[in-house]
Structure 1
Amino acid sequence: MNRFAFKLSSYTLKTFSGFSKANIKISGTHNIPDGSVIFTANHFTRIETIFLPYHIHNITKKEVWSLAAAELFEVPVLQGFLNNLGAVSTKDPHRDDLILKTLLSGDVQWIIFPEGMMVKNKKLIKKDQFSLTDEGVVRRPHTGAAIVALRCEFYRERLRRMKDMGEPEFERLVQTFEIKNIDQVLTRETHIVPVNITYYPASPKENILSKIAQIVMKEPSKRVMDELMTEGSMLFTNVDINIRFGEPINIKEYLNDSYIESMLTVKRKIKFDDDISSKQITRQFSITIMEKYMTAVYAMTTLNYDHVLACILKHFPYRKDGINIYEFKCKVYFAICWLVSNQTCCVSDAFLKNQIHLLTDDRFKRFADFFTIAQNTNVIEIKEGKIFKDQTKFITKSDFHTIRIENPILVMANELEPIKEVENFLKKVAQKSRDEIIDLVKDCIIEKIEKDFSLDYDDHYIEEESKERRIGRPLFLKHENPIAGILLIHGYMAAPEEMKAFAHYLYEKSFTVYVPRLKGHGTAPEDLAKTKYEQWIESVEEAFVILRHSCKKIIVGGFSTGAGLALELSTRLDDIEAVFAVAPPMRLQDLGSYFVPAIDTWNAMIKKIHLDTIAKEFIENHPENPHINYVRNPIAGIRQLEKLMEHLESKLKTIDKPTLVVQSRKDPVVNPKGTIKLFDRLGSDIKEYYIFDYDGHGILIGEGVKRVYKAIENFIKQWV
């Protein structure tokens, strides 16, 4: 292998990777030991033969060679590039000797794909063991990586024994294997490192490669289009590629056999591969090792939305009248929450974020994209809010070379089969009744909210500044047979306690009421300083789903920032009867807020030159209700409030629910003129504006509140 050519090819690949839009995340690099290493990886696309060696080389700084399908070397353009990059044909007659010599020295690391082929259908399990179907023939994964590793470690140990014994066989072996640094060989060991590569999304899409092929080839075959659409998507669209390295398998322990022990110390010249008995023993060990690395490879599959959605769809019981879409979404939400909390499998980073969007507006299009693929491939049909699936799509065999185009949903589901615990769990979730999953999701969210608050409170508690825990705890007042559910949202720097009196008033009028804690509130200003407005939105959405699972009708309302969040929610969700906004912010009248962009810029500049101590991060606050509100106002928090208002302003015209706006005439914080402007921009045909002659901002607490309460109650009762 020409080392200059190897480095040049790596540089070329690095340059090319700059054009790729794939998002590559690498985990578990600490599992890669020094010494002789074989990486065993799953194989879904041809590009793995190229990009995996490149990334391993970047980690280990060693040359990385790999076995590649012989057919690739039949393409003249690819042949030279693959040779220079360290790829060796599986049909190369010198393959085994080359692997042994380079592996023993430890200067070169190897990648071997134990499946021996691209597993396009990701079907690997048959009768509870790893099996692959190739051209109609069922076979086990290759044990070649295990055999090579055993051979390497055998000769390493034999070299040690022969050297200690002072036998001439030592010198012969050194010459045979062309060893230049014997100490390096004798002080290392041989390991197999399992590697998993997971793609999301993994469905084929039109891309520049497939479009060029259609122009140049006029009528490319389905197989060609499958490969170009699949592999082109990996390179030229925003696909997440997770590469995980598992714990290394130490090969030395597999030499602990009496017969192999005798072969290690025999003085005469022997050839390990020609001995019949050693072949049988090696064969047994290699199968055990193969099972071990195959299990490890697939146990590291990075679970993503496609896996969960496809598996739940597959196992969802047949219903003649169709599957309710919201019920399906609830099962997906609950499954993801369990997978994250269970912590026994690898999950997508996206799973670690709040998943409430799955039950509200699907703003990241997790369901929309999946349903589009499923509909386009005739796996499902959606009519009148229900899913009608063709179960035969999960049991009928598809052509191996075109399945990724013809039935990608089945490919997604197949990938979970080796992770039996996960597949069994998803199957149980899919088969739960609607009422059961509705209750489970509600309980799951309530438990999450309580846990989040406890963690935030404990992490940020400040002696003599943080309020009592009860001030920030969410409030849920539930009637057995409520008129409707009321979602009440508190204001900026406040807590659920701010809405407590009004919540109890509404509860006494036979409403179920939920008052959420907005993220960053009810703890300490430092918590609010690192919270984004999108997280406030998620807090509101969680509360909304709890009410949705408790009541038939829901009214949403809030105070100040909470009013803005109530309006924002009503721009996205249909199942809201009406919305009320008390002192909704459009312009802030407290002067400090106008300096926020300048202060933010100043802080950023100061931190860049490591003068954090003089950065102004908080301004003093003099709240009307100091027993509830923070007394320090984080600059970053005000900036998030402004972002929320900017986000909401353009969406006001989309609000079509009956809307009530309530304002104090002499509000010292929220400018009444701005509130009128907000009211005028509302798109609702039915909207009312009430103004009270108070000179404070917090008109839901203190004297005279019953007038405000009654006005809002009368508005609510019109719509329930």
Structure 2
Amino acid sequence: MNRSAYLTTGLAIKALSRLSKANIVIHGEENIPAHPTIFVINHFTRLETLLLPASIYNLTDVPVWSLADASLFKGGLEKFFDLVGVVSTADPKRDELIVKSLLNGEANWIIFPEGRMVKTKKIISKGKFMIDSPGGVHEPHTGAAALALRAELYRRYLLSLAEENSPKLHPILEYLGFETADDIVRRATRIVPVNLTYYPIRAIENIASSMAEKLVRDLSERMVEEIMTEGTMLLSGVDLDMRFGPAIEIEKLLDPEWLRKAGEEKALHGYTVSGELKKKMRGTAYNVMQQYMRDIYAMTTVNHEHLFASFLRICPFERIKERDFRRRVFFAASLIRDRGVEDHDFYLHKSMEESQIHLLTDDRFSKYENFIQLAEEKGVVQRKNGCLFRDGTKLSIPLNYHQGRIDNPIEIMANEVEPLGRLQKLIRSFAWQPDFLLKILLVRYLLEKERQRYRRVCSSRDPGEGRRFGCLGKPFLLPAFRRRKGIVLVHSYLSVPEEVKALAVWLRRKGYWVYAPRLPGHGTSPEDLAARKYQEWLDSVERGYAIMDSVCDRVIVGGVAVGGSLALSLAVRIKEVAGVFAVCPPRTLKDYSTKFMPSLDVWDRMLNRLKGEGEQQFLDFTYGNSHVNYGKNPVAGVHQVGEFLDSMKKKYDAIAQPALIIQADENPVVDPAGARTLYDKLGSRKKEYCLLSFNRHVLVEGEDSHRVHRKISDFIEMI
């Protein structure tokens, strides 16, 4: 390695890392010690040899050198490696360089304990860490542990000689290339386990492979595979979670007998130890290796690909209903999120830390669709009539070492989380769960989570006005005997689920299951509502849909006022919704009268003031039913209503389900003309607009509300 060129070439490494579109997220930076350190890291791509030294150097301000497989040192790459601090495993001075730099603190090291890239990510065999390679299966190398122990043995021995003013010290220091004992840093050696998890894993044709084919004739299978996989990661972008675990304190593992042996003649020769001493240290090195291997893979960052791939492999059936498959993955992902965020049982990709309801509803982040498309391309599954037909052989046959990342990335995804025993147990339990039992457990889980959310927000805030709602603010489920149709009923803005209770009871008597979700910020306090975003309301309605979808064959959604608009939004995004109805829905914020909000010019001034002051502001709301409505209307809440309605303006024509719009001809809060315009924009072939003679806004409770109830139940019966 050319040390003199290392520092200047570091600039080139940094430039290369900037060219990469990889989004590197650092976790556990606090675990990096200010000690001479060997970072032991799982090895999947050649990129790690180039990008990791710069990333770790940025965190430590200490040069980082790395050890790489000798087979990589060919042609121009060998010269480049020589410049950037990469040492070949075949270098005769390898051990001397590592031990000496750990003694004087000149550099930290990166060592890959697997010995080479584990392209198949297969590192578990019969419960043990075993590395899959072209030459066969072998245990991880103990080299990092052995070198750390050796460096610390030398450090303790030399420092003890210095304390004793032993005449042996100077000749040994001179032989080792040190001038005085002050060149030996007092801080002990550490080994820090590091896990790298890439997401997503994709291997597709890219600009890098095209360039390589023009520059190099007769590319080997191995080179084509690496360019396609790693070029995709470099040029197309990938999330790379780099997670540092707690350091292993090597000095605590030294046996006092080793120090006594070190003083014997010929026990230490240069930077090597005698065969007898090496034999005594071998068992400890093996145990340290097992410890850091467990630590490395326990820190795997779980993502959606892991779950989908693992379920496909473990599932006992060749035919799987897509909705059943998504339901199982959703349930597992939700429990994993609970345990990862709340109990820290798992490390999660950022996309796993938020609500997973999209897996059951509209797949708006394309987690499911992207995975299934890849699985189809690789022949792992076929899709027919809402079912997946799994080719089990593609998930069990040994992978070609050099082609596996291209031919079968699904198996590699599943392999990566194989060491996570608790995760495997959880996935296996869901994969084998009978469908009917899974649905029961899922509904119980979702209902309990809704109750927990309400209890949590009520206990974390001064309930104020919300105290008077009592149990009226809780979501409720009304079961029926038949499971043919289920209804999701959404209350209006500023109200609570109790608002739709009379309609829910009517529909239950007609034989339908009914669930009324609570929109976040409601049934608690106006201050709580002021802090909410409309996306939270959408999520709540989606969770309600997921509950009904797990119980009933068909699901109809509907609501009052803004609740009706939220129901229409769900119908836009989830084509499986069987029908939708909305009672007095607003189309835009302009449809509201001054009973709900001030005139638009005053409203604009209030919004500007809200942005400038950053304080909560409230409007008096005296028109509503004091039994279920807030008496104060937060300006921030009205703004969210406006944002939501604006987001829906161009989406109504996407609603293809049967639809019913009900409006009051003398609605004092919302202009009836807006509901008619909304109706005209619906894309449904079967749609109905019903204008009833009422002089109030909320029609589902109060005098003559049975007329509205009957109209809605007749509509549902026709679906």
Q: TM-score range by the shorter chain?
A: over 0.9
Deviation at 1:394, TM superposition (A): 2.0
2:24 partner SS: strand
Cα deviations across residues 338-359 of structure 1 (Å, max 9, x unaligned)? Answer: 2222332212221121111111
Q: Relative to structure 2, which stretch is displaced further, 642-651 or 302-311?
A: 642-651
User: Residues 491 and 40 (structure 1 numbering): CA distance in 2 closer, same or farther, change over 3 Å?
Assistant: same
Residue 341 of structure 1 pairs with residue 338 of structure 2: yes
User: Residues 274 and 434 (structure 1 numbering): CA distance in 2 closer, same or farther, change over 3 Å?
Assistant: same
Deviation at 1:575, TM superposition (A): 3.0
AA matched with 1:380? V
User: Residues 573 and 52 (structure 1 numbering): CA distance in 2 closer, same or farther, change over 3 Å?
Assistant: same
1:196 partner SS: strand
Deviation at 1:460, TM superposition (A): 2.7
Residue pair 1:67, 1:112 contacting (<8 A) in 2 also: yes
Q: Relative to structure 2, which stretch is displaced further, 639-648 or 590-599?
A: 590-599
Question: Partner residue of 2:123?
Answer: 124
Q: What is the rounded CA distance, in whole Å, between the counterparts of 1:278 and 1:553 in structure 2?
A: 73
Residue pair 1:666, 1:696 contacting (<8 A) in 2 also: yes
User: Residues 246 and 649 (structure 1 numbering): CA distance in 2 closer, same or farther, change over 3 Å?
Assistant: same
Cα deviations across residues 575-621 of structure 1 (Å, max 9, x unaligned)? Answer: 333211011121232454846666555544x4xxxx65xx4544444
User: Residues 60 and 593 (structure 1 numbering): CA distance in 2 closer, same or farther, change over 3 Å?
Assistant: farther
Q: What is the rounded CA distance, in whole Å, between the counterparts of 1:413 and 1:306 in structure 2?
A: 8
**Corresponding pairs, count:** 708
AA matched with 2:158? L
1:336 partner SS: helix
User: Residues 9 and 519 (structure 1 numbering): CA distance in 2 closer, same or farther, change over 3 Å?
Assistant: farther
Residue pair 1:596, 1:639 contacting (<8 A) in 2 also: no
Residue pair 1:593, 1:638 contacting (<8 A) in 2 also: no
Q: Relative to structure 2, which stretch is displaced further, 8-17 or 139-148?
A: 8-17
- TM-score (normalizing by structure 1): 0.93
Residue 354 of structure 1 pairs with residue 355 of structure 2: yes
Residue pair 2:193, 2:245 contacting (<8 A) in 1 also: yes
Question: Partner residue of 2:456?
Answer: 455
Where do 1:239-638 residues align within 5 Å?
Answer: 239-258=238-257, 260-264=258-262, 270-271=268-269, 273-319=272-318, 322-342=319-339, 343-481=344-482, 484-588=485-589, 589=592, 590=594, 591-592=597-598, 594=600, 603-604=610-611, 606=612, 612=614, 615=615, 617-638=617-638
Residue pair 2:466, 2:523 contacting (<8 A) in 1 also: no
AA matched with 2:261? M
Residue pair 1:157, 1:264 contacting (<8 A) in 2 also: no
Q: Relative to structure 2, which stretch is displaced further, 116-125 or 213-222?
A: 213-222
Question: Partner residue of 2:32?
Answer: 32
Cα deviations across residues 350-399 of structure 1 (Å, max 9, x unaligned)? Answer: 11211111111212111111111111111111112111111111222232
Cα deviations across residues 147-166 of structure 1 (Å, max 9, x unaligned)? Answer: 11001110111122112211
Q: Structure 1, unaligned stretches of length 5 or more?
A: none
AA matched with 1:652? Y
Residue 707 of structure 1 pairs with residue 707 of structure 2: yes
Q: What is the rounded CA distance, in whole Å, between the counterparts of 1:592 and 1:182 in structure 2?
A: 80
User: Residues 11 and 275 (structure 1 numbering): CA distance in 2 closer, same or farther, change over 3 Å?
Assistant: closer
Residue pair 2:464, 2:525 contacting (<8 A) in 1 also: no
AA matched with 1:553? R
Residue pair 2:103, 2:185 contacting (<8 A) in 1 also: no
Deviation at 1:121, TM superposition (A): 0.4
User: Residues 601 and 71 (structure 1 numbering): CA distance in 2 closer, same or farther, change over 3 Å?
Assistant: farther
Q: Relative to structure 2, which stretch is displaced further, 109-118 or 618-627?
A: 618-627
Q: Relative to structure 2, which stretch is displaced further, 22-31 or 420-429?
A: 420-429
Q: What is the rounded CA distance, in whole Å, between the counterparts of 2:23 and 2:609 in structure 1?
A: 33
Deviation at 1:180, TM superposition (A): 6.8
1:468 partner SS: helix
AA matched with 1:340? R
Cα deviations across residues 80-110 of structure 1 (Å, max 9, x unaligned)? Answer: 4433332222222222111111111224111
Q: Relative to structure 2, which stretch is displaced further, 592-601 or 380-389?
A: 592-601
Question: Partner residue of 1:85?
Answer: 84
AA matched with 1:379? V
AA matched with 2:628? I
Question: Partner residue of 1:14?
Answer: 14
Q: What is the rounded CA distance, in whole Å, between the counterparts of 1:672 and 1:28 in structure 2?
A: 57
Q: Relative to structure 2, which stretch is displaced further, 27-36 or 101-110?
A: 101-110
How large is the Cα RMSD of the aligned pairs?
2.4
Deviation at 1:21, TM superposition (A): 2.6
Deviation at 1:145, TM superposition (A): 0.4
Deviation at 1:211, TM superposition (A): 3.0
Q: What is the rounded CA distance, in whole Å, between the counterparts of 2:310 and 2:697 in structure 1?
A: 51
Deviation at 1:563, TM superposition (A): 0.5
AA matched with 2:55? H
Question: Partner residue of 2:673?
Answer: 673
User: Residues 495 and 175 (structure 1 numbering): CA distance in 2 closer, same or farther, change over 3 Å?
Assistant: farther
AA matched with 2:260? S
Q: What is the rounded CA distance, in whole Å, between the counterparts of 1:652 and 1:629 in structure 2?
A: 28
Residue pair 2:262, 2:268 contacting (<8 A) in 1 also: no
AA matched with 2:224? M
Deviation at 1:466, TM superposition (A): 4.5
AA matched with 1:572? R
Q: What is the rounded CA distance, in whole Å, between the counterparts of 1:269 and 1:165 in structure 2?
A: 19
User: Residues 686 and 83 (structure 1 numbering): CA distance in 2 closer, same or farther, change over 3 Å?
Assistant: same
User: Residues 155 and 695 (structure 1 numbering): CA distance in 2 closer, same or farther, change over 3 Å?
Assistant: same
Residue pair 1:68, 1:87 contacting (<8 A) in 2 also: yes
Residue pair 2:202, 2:233 contacting (<8 A) in 1 also: no
User: Residues 94 and 490 (structure 1 numbering): CA distance in 2 closer, same or farther, change over 3 Å?
Assistant: same
AA matched with 2:336? L
Residue pair 1:9, 1:81 contacting (<8 A) in 2 also: no
